[in-house]
A and B are shown apart, each in its own frame.
Chain A
Amino acid sequence: MSFYRNLSIRQKQVVWAWAFLAVPILFYSVIRFYPTLNAIILSFQSWNLLGPREWVGAENYIKLWHDPVFWKVFRNTFVYLILGTPISLVLSFVIAYQLDKTRLLHGTLRALYFLPFLTSTVAMAWVWRWFYQPVPIGLFNNFLASLGFAQVNFLNSTTNALPAILLPAIWAGLGFQIIIFMAGLRAIPTSYYEAARIDGVSGWTIMSEITLPLLKPTIVFLVVFSSIGFLRIFDQVFNMTTNNPGGPLDSTKPLVLMIYQTAFSSFDMGYAAAQTVVLFAILLVVSLAQLRILRDKP
């Protein structure tokens, strides 16, 4: 102990800092960094989970490049992202903006919007799957039929299935985004709005020149957070198209589902690892690009 006692205050702080940091560093090394590196190495190998790992060079990536399913899946993943993020952000902002002004039943309404975020995705996906069934089971088609409209093929159509799956995915994330937007709106001092009222500028000017610019940090956070969410979409798709995951005809299959099937249906671990590396690269590039575009210019 005399060694520790002889240290300066600064040195003691360093000792303690490293003592506390050691646990997460060890954890991340074993649970995160080692598997990540291993996956990158595996993407250059061929392995069926049981046999020996064989070095195949860039073969997995070449195969991926020439795989039409991959390009279809790649496109699907970006459709989830490009539709999902803006729609969910605009919706949640509009709801948060109105909810912020509402006094009546404020707490109840907020809880109702937040509820889907707390619900299990699997349970939710199955309930929506039931909504989408044809007559006489599905809620939506029963409703359409009772009004005399033709049935809509929600999950069995190559054009309708993806939007039909995206809808509950957006709905599920809405509660969280609304809460974050409301916190951002609350942080804007009321005197900014009062000053604008005295200046007599229009509601649109207040929105575009005061509210939205001051919400920028909130928007950046939600864009990145929500984009990562949509790029990694899996549960909704897997559960709602459970008879033929990613179907019909791969029209709803996202990258994560393709990775899952390659790894645990085809047991082509090297090929799956290559897809994982590509997904990782996409996530990294999209997140960095968004941060760079949306960050405050000095």
Chain B
Amino acid sequence: MATVTLHNLVKAYGKAEVLHGINLEVADGEFVVFVGPSGCGKSTTLRIIAGLEDVTSGEVQIGGRTVNHLEPKDRDIAMVFQNYAIYPHMSVRKNIGFGLRTSSLSKPEREQRIEEVAAILSMTEYLDRKPAQLSGGQRQRVAIGRAMVRDPAVFLFDEPLSNLDAQLRSQMRLEIKKLHQRVGTTIIFVTHDQVEAMTMADRIVIMKDGHIQQIGTPAEVFHQPANIFVAQFIGAPSMNLMPGRAVAGGLEVGGTMIARETGRTGAMTVGIRPDDLCVTQDKGCFSGRITLLEPLGSETLVYVDIDGQEVVAHADGRNPPALGAVVQLTVDPANLHLFGADGEAIT
């Protein structure tokens, strides 16, 4: 087990700089998820930690040791790849054992280690099969097994679930989380899926265009997003954003005044999570006409046109309002998210 520290990490390909000074401390045994849209630099950061990419400037430390110039094999890490990178011509046993080739264990010890790992992953009965005879989820487990067998200080996962179907993905999500609770090794996990990030992480690192936007626990990044990007990226459906204006004693938004102290005056962007915006029978903050309904069973997502702007609200799943109806929407003023002209949160 080990800590991972990134200090002012910069990566450039020729003149194009893709990481602009990444600073991060990952605690021992922590499960950290890098999340962001394609091309945000999350995979590059992971590959730099693994040693598969060189650092342009800055420092990578694993377990307090600077590893910038160490080969991947000397960094005491293991990595699970998006396409699993398990060898199609080798049995599951050989695949899992491949990482032990260079270890000093004796042959019986190796066999025992492979059996142990297979048992943890419930793959014992598949040890002599070839990858082609396995399902997607089982292949994924082989890939994880190959990483586990070496008992590394840090696990690196590069979008390992993106090739699985939705049901299997949520199942593997749970299994990886359980595995982490069981073995307690430091994990750095890259994904573009905010649900994966929210459900698995101890801390989430949200990245965009080679910059870290926010680092925080799932609750922090959801309830206190640092800026508009994080606010919109985390949470599904996305946060509603409406132009607003702070005046003395309140906030003018969507044609109404809401009693909320902002500490400043002037134009700002007001964010409301769909979960916080409810259809009500009483007099609400906003009123508008329903343009679209998305029934989800337990609740119904309601698209409402307020003063020419479409927002998403939520309504009861059993008695949803009718399409085209004019409805009242209510929100707790304390749950409004306020962002300045620069996109940063106003606290």
Contacts and interface: CB of A to CB of B under 8 A. Distances in A.
A200 B73 CA distance: 5
Judged by DSSP, the binding face of B is loop
B71 A195 contact: no
B102 A199 contact: yes
B79 A198 contact: yes
Interface string A145-181: 0000000000000000000000000000000000000
A122 to B, nearest CB: 43
Interface string A183-199: 00000010110111111
B78 to A, nearest CB: 7
B164 interface: no
Contacts, number: 60
Interface residues of B, number: 24
Contact of A191 (B71, B72, B81, B102): B81
A189 B78 CA distance: 18
Contact of B85 (A191, A200, A214, A216): A191
A210 B87 contact: yes
Given A205-B101, A213-B89, A197 B83 contact: no
Contact of A189 (B77, B85, B98): B85
Interface in A191-222: 191-192, 194-201, 205, 209-210, 213-214, 216
Interface in A64-106: none
B52 interface: yes
Judged by DSSP, the binding face of A is helix
A195 to B, nearest CB: 4
Nearest to B158: A191
Interface in B100-114: 101-102
A74 B224 CA distance: 84
B11 interface: no
A214 B98 contact: no
B125 interface: no
Contact of A197 (B71, B90, B146, B150): B71
Contacts of B88: 214
Nearest to A199: B99
A198 B101 contact: no
Contacts of B77: 198
A194 B53 CA distance: 10
A276 to B, nearest CB: 40
B92 to A, nearest CB: 15
A171 B73 CA distance: 40
A197 B73 contact: yes
B98 A201 contact: yes
B102 A200 contact: yes
A62 to B, nearest CB: 49
Question: 5 tightest A-B contacts by CB?
Answer: A200-B73, A195-B85, A191-B85, A199-B99, A191-B81
Interface of B: 50-52, 71-74, 77-79, 81-83, 85, 87-90, 98-99, 101-102, 146, 150
Given A197-B52, A201-B98, A214-B89, 16 more contacts: A189-B85, A191-B82, A194-B79, A194-B85, A195-B85, A195-B146, A197-B72, A198-B52, A198-B72, A199-B98, A199-B99, A199-B101, A199-B150, A201-B102, A209-B87, A216-B89
